[in-house]
């Protein structure tokens, strides 16, 4: 019986150490938009410099953005959660600038977006040179699950209106959009 008691104490202690060692604030965020810090982030308990500093996150660190106001965002990172300057955040899979700012992508094809996976459901095709900064204005916000590029072309697709938040450059067919974009597109620009 004493062995069981010592084993139980050892397991409980190990679990406590593992729980304390994990960055709990970051681990707690299953939702949010994937982003990176482009400079050291100062975390505050509110959206502005008048609020107390609660921590920091070093530059070039993967974070999640929970929500944003005009100039400030609530972020969750490996060292904590707090409000920080939106200008020091880049959205996407890497810390590189928005993919649509890069050159050398194919241009000139119609791109069709589908409500269902594998090019099923309602279809919305966009000609090269067209841009939709806010899909809610045409009743198609957060409506698409797959995309087909008809020929040599590409499209910028973003989670939020006005080409903000998580963005990608689509250069080929995607029977199922990335998990961060599926049923979450709010702005599109076709090249």
Give the CATH number for residue 110: 2.60.20.10
- Assigned token pair, 14: 């190990």
Computed over every residue of the chain, the mean pLDDT equals 80
Q: Is it the case that residue 147 has pLDDT exceeding 90? A: yes
User: Which domain covers residue 36, as residue numbers?
Assistant: 21-91
Q: Is it the case that residue 101 has pLDDT exceeding 70? A: no
pLDDT tens-digit map of 68-80:
888 899 999 999 9
Q: 188 and 113 in contact (C-beta within 8 Å)?
A: yes
* CATH number of the domain bearing residue 40: 2.30.30.40
- Assigned token pair, 44: 């505050």
Residues 67 and 128 in one domain: no
Average pLDDT over residues 95-100: 52
Residues 146 and 177 in one domain: yes
Confidence of residue 21 (pLDDT cuts 50, 70, 90): very low
Bigger pLDDT: 14 or 36? 36
| Cβ-based neighbours of 82, under 8 Å, separated by 6 or more | 43, 44, 45, 54, 55, 74, 75
pLDDT of residue 109: 87
8, part of any domain: no
Confidence of residue 122 (pLDDT cuts 50, 70, 90): very high
In percent, the amount of the chain with pLDDT more than 90 equals: 44
Q: Is it the case that residue 29 has pLDDT exceeding 70? A: no
Confidence of residue 35 (pLDDT cuts 50, 70, 90): confident
What is this structure's pTM? 0.56
Residues 62 and 134 in one domain: no
């Amino acid at each position: 019986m004493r062995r069981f008691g010592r084993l139980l104490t050892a397991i409980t202690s190990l679990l406590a150490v593992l729980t304390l060692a994990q960055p709990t604030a970051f681990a707690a965020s299953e939702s949010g938009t994937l982003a990176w810090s482009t400079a050291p982030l100062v975390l505050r308990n509110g959206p502005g410099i008048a609020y107390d500093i609660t921590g920091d996150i070093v530059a070039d660190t993967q974070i999640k953005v929970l929500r944003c106001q005009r100039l400030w965002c609530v972020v969750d990172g490996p060292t904590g959660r707090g409000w920080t300057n939106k200008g020091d955040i880049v959205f996407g899979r890497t810390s590189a600038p928005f993919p649509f700012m890069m050159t050398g992508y194919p241009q000139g094809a119609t791109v069709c977006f589908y409500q269902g996976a594998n090019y099923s459901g309602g279809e919305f095709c966009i000609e090269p040179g067209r841009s939709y900064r806010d899909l809610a204005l045409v009743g198609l916000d957060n409506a698409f699950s797959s995309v087909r590029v008809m020929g040599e072309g590409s499209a910028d697709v973003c989670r939020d209106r006005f080409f903000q938040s998580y963005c990608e450059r689509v250069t080929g067919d995607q029977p199922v959009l990335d998990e961060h974009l599926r049923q979450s597109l709010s702005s599109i620009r076709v090249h």
